[in-house]
Structure 1
Amino acid sequence: MNELLSQFELNSQENFSILTFLLNIIIAIILLFILSKLYVKYGNSISNREQLSRVFILVGVTTFIIISIVKSSLALSLGLVGALSIVRFRTAIKEPEELGFFFISIAVGLGMGANQFLPTFTGFVLLALVIVLMKKNKLSDSISQNLILSLSTTDKNGNEIIDEISSVLSMHTTQLEMKRLNITKENFDVNFLINLSNLEGLQVIAKELKNLDADINITFIDSGI
């Protein structure tokens, strides 16, 4: 019973070490700073990555301070759960990648706040390697593009021009899927999802499509946007 009641005691200063606290928070800030640079350099978000990267440090350090305060008191931990249950974040996460980096920053704050340096540091290094390798692999292996074609009908009917476009795309892509087709009296729009092995393929495709119809309008849009 005494051990159970002791968990609710708010005074845990006898277990607090200012040296350990400062060392852990400095390490946490360094790791979070590295994370912010990784996001700026290797992130795919179209938003202002430089501005968002600063938030990772604030979130991580705030998490570190909270965990440092509540980790030795069950009463404070329960109070934190109750406080968080009434908090509502009004700013939506625009892209899943942003959520992933936020979780990494929170994990760093949790680990260092709980004085778990080795698993936190090891996990962070592995995640950093994964982020770098995934970006390198994406740049070297393939380029996913959403190809939007808009052209005016001439003496060819829609089926003929679509077959010719598909034939050109299939020769220079590793993946070809029609996603949208809109036909009117004057023109028709068609969207294809394609996968290219290199950037030069974009120029080749544009040239050959222009040979089919000089009035064709071609737009390349990254499918990640």
Structure 2
Amino acid sequence: MSVKDVIKNSFLSSDSFTKTDVEQIFVSLLAALLLGLFIYLVYRVFYAGVIYSKSFAVTIVGMTVLTCMVTLAISTNVVISLGMVGALSIVRFRTAIKDPLDLLYLFWAITAGITAGAGMYFLAICSSIIMLVVIIIFYSRTSGQSIYVAVVHYTGDDTGDKILQELGKLKYCIKSKTLRAQETEMAIEISVKDKNLFFEEKIRNLENVKDITLIQYNGEYHGW
């Protein structure tokens, strides 16, 4: 059979489904739903951002199922596949992705839906397990550590050195230092284990220290 005959048969094929086709569609959509729920649970457990977005988590499940549906549709008929390409090419998404890791979950959901729609269940399961292991490994490296930005207002030239001495062996980095008439504002990024904020009381009790403000930072940061 030539390529021309294959294309002709695809254009002329009916839209009716056999019992085998219906069973295959049901299994593929069910597999996509289970994979989407698995990705949803991973995102919910390992989310480390500032504000958890439930709508984004639900989007992951819907994205997996819809991608599977599109894959099933375009694999059955050339006309549908060309129509899907034309329709999806004009779609523009305006929602900004704030956390780069969210792109990983979106792409994971899309690829899981494609593999489920193509019937490659073993590939989808293996890749999902590998992704889970990767996330666990990198998450364990940062678990137990919190990043705080301490904003301290003080007077006196020697007070700044005393503040840094009170941090002891904690990892810190001076982010900014603003000098005013008689007052200095210093912002320090501090890495804290198990949220142990013992240094806060010590710095506050120092002479010439007016106040200290701690701001927890859960975003992306670079180590020292």
In the alignment, which of 183, 186, 202 is matched to residue 187 of structure 1?
Answer: 183
In the alignment, which of 22, 28, 53 is matched to residue 24 of structure 1?
Answer: 28
Q: Deviations over 1:159-189 (max 9, x none)?
A: x2222222222x231x322111222225332
Identity of aligned residues (%): 20
The aligned amino acid for 1:17 is: D
Q: Structure 1 pair 109/205, CA: closer, same or farther in 2 (3 Å)?
A: same
The aligned amino acid for 2:129 is: V
| Aligned: 1:219 with 2:184 | no
Contact between 1:12 and 1:72, CA under 8 Å: does it hold in 2? no
Q: Structure 1 pair 164/12, CA: closer, same or farther in 2 (3 Å)?
A: farther
State the distance in 2 between where 1:12 and 1:192 align.
68
State the distance in 2 between where 1:4 and 1:180 align.
69
Q: Deviations over 1:102-148 (max 9, x none)?
A: 111111111101111111111011212322343333224xx141322
Match of 2:151 in 1: 149
| Aligned: 1:208 with 2:202 | yes
- 3-state SS of paired residue (1:103): helix
State the distance in 1 between where 2:14 and 2:49 align.
43
Q: Which runs of 5+ in 1 are unaligned?
A: none
The aligned amino acid for 2:176 is: R
**CA-based RMSD:** 2.5
Q: Which runs of 5+ in 2 are unaligned?
A: none
Using the size of structure 1 for normalisation, the TM-score is: 0.82
The 5-angstrom pairing of residues 72-91 of structure 1 reads: 72-91=76-95
State the distance in 1 between where 2:5 and 2:184 align.
74
Using the size of structure 2 for normalisation, the TM-score is: 0.83
Higher helix share goes to which structure? 1
